[in-house]
Structure 1
C-alpha cells in the first residue's frame, strides 16, 4: 500500500556527486582534485562517492586510463568508501562504443549509475554485473521507472536513483513522488536515493528524508546551498545535506 509503508527501516545513505559537467570554480577534474573533493565530502558526512573521470583534454570520459587514475586517487584518499562511476550516454552516446569502453576498464568501481532510459543500458548492466560491479539504476522520469520495473533487472541492482530533471521544485517533488509510487506499487523494494538538480535538488532531498530514503548532493547536482547561496564546494553541500538528514527533513 502506498503511503507510510514506503518507508524502510535501514540507514539512509548520503552520497556525494562530485563533478559531472558542472561549471564552478571548485568542480574537480584531475584525479588529484577529485580525490581532494572526495575527502572533503567524506569528512562532511558522505558515505558513498559518485564521480565522472576526465581525460587530459578536460572532457568527461569512460576510457580505461582516466577512470583507473581517478579511482586509484580517490581510494587512496578515502579508503573503504564505495565509489560509483557514471555510464551516462551524455559522455558516450554510441551504445556500442560505450560498451567497448566499459569492457576495457582495468580498475573497477564498486558501482555505476546506469540510466534506465538509455539505449543498450540493460546489456551494459549485464556486462557490469558479471564483473561484480553494482548497479545504481538511474530513473530520470516516470517512463524510466516503468521501463525499469518491466525489465525485471531490479533484483540485480544495488539501489534505485530517483532523479527528476525538473527545474521547478514543486514539479521535481511531484515527479519524484510519481517515480517512487511506480516502484512501490510494483513491489520493488530496493533502497532508494533521491536527488534533483539546481535549486530543486533541495526540495527533492527534503521530501526523500521525510520518506525515509537516502539522498545525494554535490556539485554535479547543484551549485547552491538550501538558502540559495552559492556553495564553496562539495564539502559544504554535503554538510548541508547531513544536517538535513539529522533534522529529519
Structure 2
C-alpha cells in the first residue's frame, strides 16, 4: 500500500511549491513524513504550469537529488497544453524522464503519449475520473500496458464521491482487471475516499493538488501536514482490522 503525495498543480495555496528547489524541498519533507510516491507538476520561470523539457527536467533533477529512491510521477494533464500534437511533441522532447506518468483516459491524444513514454521505459498510470472513463478503459482491453490504475471520484460531496468510487471499482472488478489501484478524491471528501480505499487494500493519495483541508475540515498548512494526516488515517484503518480483500465483490 503506497501513499502518493500530489504536491502541486492548478490550485492556489500559500504553501504550494512551484520552483524546482521549492518542489524538491517539499518533496523531501513529505517523504520524511511517510510519502512513498510523489506526483509532480512543473512550472516555468513565470510560475506557469509547463510540460516543456526544460522545466520538467529541472524539477526532476532537483527532486531526485533530495529523494533519490522515491518514484516520481509527472502529470501529462491536457489542460496544461490543450493541443494534443503540441503536448506530444513537448513530451517527446523530455531528456530527463520520470519513473511514472499519470495518463487521464478520457483525454485526446493520451494513447500516443502512453505509447511514447512506455516505449522509453516510463511506467504509465491509467487514470479514470468518471464512469465514461472507466467504460473506455475497460473496452480498450489494454490494461496490461499500465502499471497502476488510479481511480479518481472527483465529487465535492462525500456521499457522491464514495458512491462513484464504489461504482467505478465494481466495473473494474467485473472486467477482471487486477491492476494495483490507487484512489483519491478532492476537498474534504478526499478523506472519506481515502479511508474507504485503505479498507479495500488500495493505495491512496493526498496533497495540495487534491485538498487544502485536514480530515476534520481545518485548513491544511502544508503538504507535510496532509502527509502526516494520511499516514495516521492508514494506521487507524489498519489497526481497526477493517482491511478487505480488494479482489472480492463490493457490497457498497
Q: TM-score range by the shorter chain?
A: over 0.9
1:60 to 33, 41, 49: 49
Q: Which residue of 1 aligns with 2:133?
A: 144
How many Å separate the matches in 1 of 2:82 and 2:143? 24
How many Å separate the matches in 2 of 1:152 and 1:37? 38
Superposed CA RMSD in Å reads: 0.8
List gaps (5 residues or longer) in structure 2. Answer: 239-252
Q: Which residue of 1 aligns with 2:202?
A: 213
Tell me, yes or no, if structure 1 residue 43 matches structure 2 residue 13. no
Q: Which residue of 2 aligns with 1:162?
A: 151
How many Å separate the matches in 1 of 2:18 and 2:93? 21
How many Å separate the matches in 2 of 1:149 and 1:80? 33
Q: How does 1:69-148 map to 2 (within 5 A)?
A: 69-148=58-137
Q: Which residue of 2 aligns with 1:9?
A: none
How many Å separate the matches in 2 of 1:142 and 1:133? 27
List gaps (5 residues or longer) in structure 1. Answer: 1-11
Question: Could you list the runs of 4 or more consecutive aligned residues of structure 1 that deviate by over 4 angstroms after TM superposition?
Answer: none
Tell me, yes or no, if structure 1 residue 199 matches structure 2 residue 166. no
1:225 to 214, 217, 222: 214
Tell me, yes or no, if structure 1 residue 29 matches structure 2 residue 15. no
**Greater RCO, CA 8 A, separation 6+:** 1
Q: Which residue of 1 aligns with 2:249?
A: none
Aligned positions, number:
238
TM-score by length of 2: 0.93
Deviations 1:98-150 (A, max 9, x none): 10000000100000000000011111111111011101111101110111111
Q: How does 1:15-26 map to 2 (within 5 A)?
A: 15-26=4-15
How many Å separate the matches in 2 of 1:112 and 1:218? 17
Q: Which residue of 2 aligns with 1:13?
A: 2
